[in-house]
Chains A and B, each alone.
Chain A
Amino acid sequence: MNKRILVIGGGIGGVQAGLDLAQMGIKVTLVEAKPSIGGRMAQLDKTFPTNDCSTCILSPKLYELASHPNVDIFSYSTLDKVDKKENGFQARIRKKARFVNEEKCTACGLCSEKCPVKIPDLFNKEITTTKCISIPYAQAVPAVYKIDKKHCLYFSKGKCGICQKVCTAGAIDYEQKDTIETIDFDAIIVAAGAEEYTPRIRPEYGFGIYDNVVTSIEYERILSASGPTGGHIIRPSDKTAPGSIAFIQCVGSRDISSGNYAYCSSYCCMQATKDAIITREHDQNACSTIFYIDIRAFGKDFDKFVDRAQSEYNVKYIKSRISEIIEKPKTKNLAIKYITPDGRINTKEFELVVLSVGIRIPDQIKELMTELGVKLSEYGFCPCDAFEPGITNVDGIYVCGTLMGPMDIPETVMSASAAASMAARGLLSPEISSEIIKEKPAEIAIEEKYLKIGVVVCHCGVNIGSVVDVPEVVKFAGSFRNVVFADELIYACSRDSIKYIIDKIKEHDLTRFIMASCSPRTHETLFKSALEEAGLNKYLMQMTNIRDQCSWVHQDNHEEATEKAKDLVCMAVGRSRYLQPLHELDSEVNKACLVIGGGIAGMMSALFIADNGFRAFLVEKDTELGGNLLKINYTLEEKNISWLLGKIRERVQEHPLIDVCLNTEIREIKGYVGNFTTNLTSGKEERNIEHGAVIVATGGREHETESYGYRDESYVVTQREFETMLLNKNPMLKYAHTVAMIQCVDSRESDKNYCSRVCCGEMVKNILQLKNDYPDKDVYVLYRDIRTYGMLEPYYTQARKTGALFFRYDIENKPVIQKEENGEFIITVYDEILRRYIKLRAQLIVLSVGIDPLETNDQLARMLKVPLNEDGFFHEAHVKLRPVDFATAGIFVSGLAHGPKYINESVSQAIAAASRALTIITKDKIRSEAHTAVINEVRCTGCGFCVDVCAYNAIEIDKEKNIAAVNTLMCKGCGSCAATCLSGAVDLSGFTNKQLIQEFQELFL
């Protein structure tokens, strides 16, 4: 068995799946059609609801993937053929000719600079041009240029050849041919993603006709600092800053007029809100208006984000579907006709219109899926069962991300992690460790040696050398005390250069090494490995970036760029004097996982840990497994939940690797990643278990309301109770001729300001069931926004078609219920269009009460030292890219404990949590960071500031000595503690105060 998995698609989904698999010890081949990985996320400016820079959070993952020894990336490559074999697949991968040698290209960019041919820039949505030889964006991975053969003068006319002439690395190869590799795989994960809808199909919006109508993805590029306008918001027609911007929602979503787009694309409401906020941050006078049908802010903290858009950023939301945009010929402004909240028709002019385009599956991916034999839904997505998200009809082929249906980034990341542990089944074993051990020469002890510093200054082709006077910098470096060797290299990163560096370290008996070149982000690992080869501890190297900091940003001022390069080298010399060898610490890993909570999330996490060959302890405080699912009979997609649940419970209970602990509470959890000890109590019995990871899947519960007379009236019920009434054909239904449903009961307001996500779907589900069983009954729905996102939208359309009537109410004007003497209810609600109160008569009222976090979350959070958000749900490490992790290593979260979600989403997150836990427990040993906090016991006063600021819970106060103590395995070396400590009692190894001070002293004193 070769244990290799093919990942198709290099967007965030493919990247996450690839990383998880690689960390589990499985070889990964990732195939991406575009010249670089990163996908859509690389094109986004910021991400909601935290407004983190998209590239900043994404690119570390891209580098991590690209540099992982278990990963091979085939970019600019396609799949010629995939054959099913016994126990796996065989794929023919075509690596298309770039006409640039991937090994030799150093991404110096000179070729592109000198190339005379301009072509439309696809990455920037053709708003601007790029060169015929180019790289999609500055942080692209792999950083290899590519020639567009169609437009290249060399290929079309046989002349030019400038790029080949200027490339000092000799990387241009006009003769390069497509290469084909045939590789065997155990499984395939398709993370091919989706594309945005092209609004050209909707001529009434004038996209492609009117200059100032752009799509949301084009607008992302316009907002981006690295985008075509350099981060200045300017409209295409006259390059001026638009003062008024309209966002039109649901273009190509919830729309069957221009094709089969009956679904909701899920993320566009939040994207428009984010873009409107960022627009305002760019320009304090810019006013954005969002024309929407429903604001679908259903995710964690989304409603708060929308509230802020309105209260702090002056974003206006108008509920109106726009049918036409008209361009004013003179100003090129755009007139939009819309319906005002009070039902009048109004026209307003905007300087720029952004169409919030939805997503769809591109035809070539549909073709690929067909070839793989994977069935797609009528909308082109790959539908999955609620309990098997990611599993397709073809054995061994898994899907994740937007290919499964519209979803945002964290959901994509969760589904990708989930796909990883699904695909890994059968490939892992506790006997085989997934950590990578590299053989390296024995390390030379430097303590007894003289301080001898070597300096290499890199030209980076002409990238540095054409601006910075490299020989001058070398001469300057050589003048310092203890510098015994200084030289320059054209490409320090080339293979022969690395060999040269190793030789020089040995020849001069160097004990410190300084590399003045490019970014440590991309090249530090390479130079560190050179030191290791030479027998030096790799932390004795100091890199200083004279490319980004000098030649790039000061390219017009050679002299000052050179001076700055000298200063940086001077500081590096100062710092290097106090560099010390550092070593990572190894710690044994206990190969079991504790799963807290026996609901569907906990059971699925335990199953996927166990199915992959590892032991799981499943702890449930109740006497049976199942959690909230025990009270649910059917969902929109699944008609027989209890039967499915029964099957899963049976699998869990009979699994030899799952230790089911019912009626059990957790008394205490001690330890850290890889080595936890947990005290379990069950009645009077008590026992300790040991495990290497923890998954928190404690769930949530139905909100208990006192509103709308629920406590006192038997004819006021919750949606869940109503579901059971329908199932049991409750006699109360006979009497109730009219059913009124009230959405958002106690939700999305002051002390419970979040959306419970599932209630709209519940409502739709119950309407369809009611109308199926009792077609004559009338239904009224009182709602604020209908949030049937993604593939639920068609069900909503269906519910409307049954004749159910929907009334929108405002939070300021909630419905009021009165009981008549005959037992009927009169509901008074303000109708915005009629501008008056209307009265509805109903015999049964159904409340959508939403989901509450458990009160016990607080206690568990304190035990695990992980945070809760302000609503009381567990707070993940990063809302976008680490949706199942906690900042504290080795602890993961899934299901309702993390926030309200549907069953399939809980299951997906639960399997993702299993994947993340497997990346730890598949290892025999885990390795700490080398750069960790060190406490000076003489200086430490035990004041505890460091404990407060540590995001990783790596510091505690030793009660005996009353001083801080660092758990090196948990420390990530962020340095917050060192920066906070007033007494100077914390040092970050490799970044000690002494080193930092010496940097400045070398320069200034």
Chain B
Amino acid sequence: MVWKIQGVEGENYLESIKNFLNQLLKSKNVDAVLVPKRFPDGNNTAQVLITDPGKLDDIDPLAPVQMVNSAQIVKELTKDPVKEKIASVLRPCEVRATIELIKLKQILDARLYIIGYDCPGVYNVKDYIEKLEKSNGIGKEGFTLSYVNSFLSGKQDTIRESCQLCTHFTGNSADINIAWVGSNSSDVFIEVNSEKGQSLIEGLAGEKIGDLIERNQKINKILDERKKRQENEIDDFLGFMQRCIRCYNCREVCPLCYCKECLLKPEKMGYSSDRYLRRATKKGQIKMPVDTVLYHLTKINHMAFSCVSCGLCEQACPMDIPLGRIYNVFGRKAQALFDYEPGRSLDDELPVATFKEDELKEIEDVKE
């Protein structure tokens, strides 16, 4: 169901979003809002937990940069039960990671409201900073808005690979989604996807509106292009893995790596010195650090079903391994086996712990 909330419309999308969040806080429908906000110097954004509606200026959820997958922050904010209602404004990949973490019982969602929004994609952090510096004159907000315009006109060639491959760029599985793609002006619409979402806009003046046909057309067009790109494969997995220095950056930024103590950390994966020598003696040589393939295969094995392809791992890799692509391919194929889509719904059961008689036919009756 789509709603148009009265008094939200501003000069541009950012202002409209701000006005909407302002109403949420003022109506006391929520006690706090987690939303990306520009640094005072304007050169970057960070997730900020806001309780004072007066602090909503300079919020910038559409800025084409993602420092962390905010599901990690939501996890930190909701690990213990609290009385206050928190609305978290998340990119779709963050929404989906949050839903996975709820299923994995790492997020207590009783007081959590998930607000998604149409995501235009992001640059790599380095590219973002570079482009921001070069854009002197249009202002920090102007940079975001001009990026949004280029997204709408289909020109956004240098965004991160995982964003280029992304087919879930609207927050349909969030409690509500702030929809702006396909809106003719700077207006935003509120798509309500759950009962919780409905309670979020309780008491706000607004009206239900019908299907946004233009929006759907626009979205489908982008989806078609991206699905074509998804047909890629990984041609040289072992080659890429050779580059790995086991720095664990990919693990640190991954929103779905939820273990408290990683089994793959050096002291767990390491060996006594004589074993390294024995291994070297067996083959004449071994590459150090050892077991980089084992490390990645184990990591993939652990979170392929829940991988939301946010691409943070790739952004964090100092060796430029295309991890976003690698996880996207592994994840997509593993998920397809069980008709599972991470973050699609809280009602979908995680395939790891569910048995269905008719699943995995592929590995049955293999005859010659």
Give the interface centre of A957, A980, A982 by most chain B CB atoms within 10 Å. A982
Given contacts A944-B105, A948-B353, whether A982 and B259 have CB atoms under 8 Å apart is yes
A945 within 8 A of B: yes
Q: Mark contacts of A951-985 with chain B using CB atoms, 8 A cut-off: 1 yes-contact digit, 0 otherwise.
A: 00000010000100000000000000000101110
Closest chain B residue, CB of each to CB of A943? B104
Closest chain B residue, CB of each to CB of A936? B261
Closest chain B residue, CB of each to CB of A939? B261
Q: Which residues from chain A contact B263 at a C-beta distance below 8 Å?
A: 983-984
B279 within 8 A of A: yes
Taking a contact as CB atoms under 8 Å apart, the answer to whether A1005 and B258 are in contact is no
Given contacts A980-B353, A984-B263, whether A943 and B106 have CB atoms under 8 Å apart is yes
Q: How far is it, in angstroms, between the C-alpha of A592 and the C-alpha of B263 when the chains are bound?
A: 46
Q: Which residues from chain A contact B350 at a C-beta distance below 8 Å?
A: 945
**Interface extent on B, as a size class?**
10 to 19
Given contacts A938-B260, A940-B260, A983-B259, whether A949 and B353 have CB atoms under 8 Å apart is yes
Taking a contact as CB atoms under 8 Å apart, the answer to whether B105 and A957 are in contact is yes
Taking a contact as CB atoms under 8 Å apart, the answer to whether B260 and A982 are in contact is no
Closest chain B residue, CB of each to CB of A281? B365
A941 within 8 A of B: yes
Q: Which residues from chain A contact B352 at a C-beta distance below 8 Å?
A: 945, 980, 982
A790 within 8 A of B: no
A679 within 8 A of B: no
Taking a contact as CB atoms under 8 Å apart, the answer to whether A941 and B259 are in contact is yes
How distant is A165 from chain B, measured CB to nearest CB, in Å?
45
B302 within 8 A of A: yes
Taking a contact as CB atoms under 8 Å apart, the answer to whether B105 and A1005 are in contact is no
Given contacts A948-B354, A949-B353, A982-B302, whether A941 and B275 have CB atoms under 8 Å apart is no
Q: Which residues from chain B contact A948 at a C-beta distance below 8 Å?
A: 353-354
Q: Which residues from chain A contact B279 at a C-beta distance below 8 Å?
A: 1005
A942 within 8 A of B: yes
Q: Which residues from chain B contact A945 at a C-beta distance below 8 Å?
A: 350, 352-353
B278 within 8 A of A: yes
Closest chain A residue, CB of each to CB of B302? A982
Q: Which residues from chain B contact A943 at a C-beta distance below 8 Å?
A: 104-106, 258
Q: Which residues from chain B contact A940 at a C-beta distance below 8 Å?
A: 260
Q: How far is it, in angstroms, between the C-alpha of A938 and the C-alpha of B261 when the chains are bound?
A: 7
Q: How far is it, in angstroms, between the C-alpha of A980 and the C-alpha of B354 when the chains are bound?
A: 11
Q: Mark contacts of B38-58 with chain A using CB atoms, 8 A cut-off: 1 yes-contact digit, 0 otherwise.
A: 000000000000000000000
Q: Which of B275, B302, B303, B353 contacts A1001 (CB 8 A)?
A: B275
Taking a contact as CB atoms under 8 Å apart, the answer to whether B271 and A941 are in contact is no
Given contacts A948-B353, A949-B353, whether A983 and B261 have CB atoms under 8 Å apart is yes
Q: Which of B259, B278, B303 contacts A939 (CB 8 A)?
A: B259
How distant is B104 from chain A, measured CB to nearest CB, in Å?
5
How distant is A940 from chain B, measured CB to nearest CB, in Å?
7
Given contacts A957-B105, A983-B263, A1005-B275, whether A941 and B354 have CB atoms under 8 Å apart is no
Q: Mark contacts of B258-271 with chain A using CB atoms, 8 A cut-off: 1 yes-contact digit, 0 otherwise.
A: 11110100000001
How distant is B257 from chain A, measured CB to nearest CB, in Å?
9
Q: Which residues from chain A contact B258 at a C-beta distance below 8 Å?
A: 941, 943
Q: How far is it, in angstroms, between the C-alpha of A980 and the C-alpha of B275 when the chains are bound?
A: 29
- The A interface is mostly helix, strand or loop, or mixed, namely loop
Closest chain B residue, CB of each to CB of A947? B353
Q: Which residues from chain B contact A939 at a C-beta distance below 8 Å?
A: 259-261
Chain B 265-300 interface residues, beta-carbon cutoff 8 Å to A? 271, 275, 278-279
Closest chain B residue, CB of each to CB of A948? B353
Q: How far is it, in angstroms, between the C-alpha of A980 and the C-alpha of B104 when the chains are bound?
A: 13
Q: Which residues from chain B contact A982 at a C-beta distance below 8 Å?
A: 259, 302-303, 352
Q: How far is it, in angstroms, between the C-alpha of A948 and the C-alpha of B104 when the chains are bound?
A: 11
Q: How far is it, in angstroms, between the C-alpha of A945 and the C-alpha of B351 when the chains are bound?
A: 10
Closest chain A residue, CB of each to CB of B298? A982
Q: How far is it, in angstroms, between the C-alpha of A839 and the C-alpha of B277 when the chains are bound?
A: 90
How distant is A938 from chain B, measured CB to nearest CB, in Å?
6
Q: Which residues from chain A contact B261 at a C-beta distance below 8 Å?
A: 938-939, 983
Q: How far is it, in angstroms, between the C-alpha of A941 and the C-alpha of B263 when the chains are bound?
A: 13
Q: Which residues from chain B contact A980 at a C-beta distance below 8 Å?
A: 352-353
Q: Which of B259, B278, B354, B365 contacts A1005 (CB 8 A)?
A: B278
Closest chain B residue, CB of each to CB of A944? B105
How distant is B366 from chain A, measured CB to nearest CB, in Å?
13
How distant is A479 from chain B, measured CB to nearest CB, in Å?
15
How distant is A915 from chain B, measured CB to nearest CB, in Å?
31
Taking a contact as CB atoms under 8 Å apart, the answer to whether A941 and B260 are in contact is yes
Closest chain A residue, CB of each to CB of B259? A983
How distant is A974 from chain B, measured CB to nearest CB, in Å?
14
Q: How far is it, in angstroms, between the C-alpha of A945 and the C-alpha of B261 when the chains are bound?
A: 17
How distant is B111 from chain A, measured CB to nearest CB, in Å?
17
Q: How far is it, in angstroms, between the C-alpha of A943 and the C-alpha of B271 when the chains are bound?
A: 29
Chain B 315-368 interface residues, beta-carbon cutoff 8 Å to A? 350, 352-354, 365
Chain B 197-215 interface residues, beta-carbon cutoff 8 Å to A? none
Chain B 226-272 interface residues, beta-carbon cutoff 8 Å to A? 258-261, 263, 271
Chain A 985-1005 interface residues, beta-carbon cutoff 8 Å to B? 1001, 1005
Closest chain B residue, CB of each to CB of A983? B259
Q: How far is it, in angstroms, between the C-alpha of A585 and the C-alpha of B31 when the chains are bound?
A: 50
How distant is B101 from chain A, measured CB to nearest CB, in Å?
9
Q: Which residues from chain A contact B260 at a C-beta distance below 8 Å?
A: 938-941, 983
Q: Mark contacts of A405-425 with chain B using CB atoms, 8 A cut-off: 1 yes-contact digit, 0 otherwise.
A: 000000000000000000000
How distant is A979 from chain B, measured CB to nearest CB, in Å?
10
Q: Mark contacts of B153-182 with chain A using CB atoms, 8 A cut-off: 1 yes-contact digit, 0 otherwise.
A: 000000000000000000000000000000
Q: Which residues from chain B contact A1005 at a C-beta distance below 8 Å?
A: 271, 275, 278-279
Q: Which residues from chain B contact A949 at a C-beta distance below 8 Å?
A: 353
Taking a contact as CB atoms under 8 Å apart, the answer to whether B275 and A942 are in contact is no
Q: How far is it, in angstroms, between the C-alpha of A982 and the C-alpha of B260 when the chains are bound?
A: 11
Q: How far is it, in angstroms, between the C-alpha of A984 and the C-alpha of B104 when the chains are bound?
A: 15
How distant is B284 from chain A, measured CB to nearest CB, in Å?
15
Chain B 6-26 interface residues, beta-carbon cutoff 8 Å to A? none
Could you show 18 A-B contacts with beta carbons less than 8 Å apart? A281-B365, A939-B260, A939-B261, A941-B104, A941-B105, A941-B258, A941-B259, A942-B105, A943-B105, A943-B106, A943-B258, A944-B104, A949-B353, A982-B303, A982-B352, A1001-B275, A1005-B275, A1005-B279
Additional A-B contacts beyond A949-B353, A980-B352 (17; CB < 8 A): A281-B365, A938-B260, A938-B261, A939-B260, A941-B105, A941-B106, A941-B259, A942-B105, A943-B106, A944-B104, A948-B353, A948-B354, A980-B353, A982-B259, A982-B302, A1005-B271, A1005-B278
Q: B residues near A, CB below 8 A?
A: 104-106, 258-261, 263, 271, 275, 278-279, 302-303, 350, 352-354, 365
Q: A residues near B, CB below 8 A?
A: 281, 938-945, 948-949, 957, 962, 980, 982-984, 1001, 1005
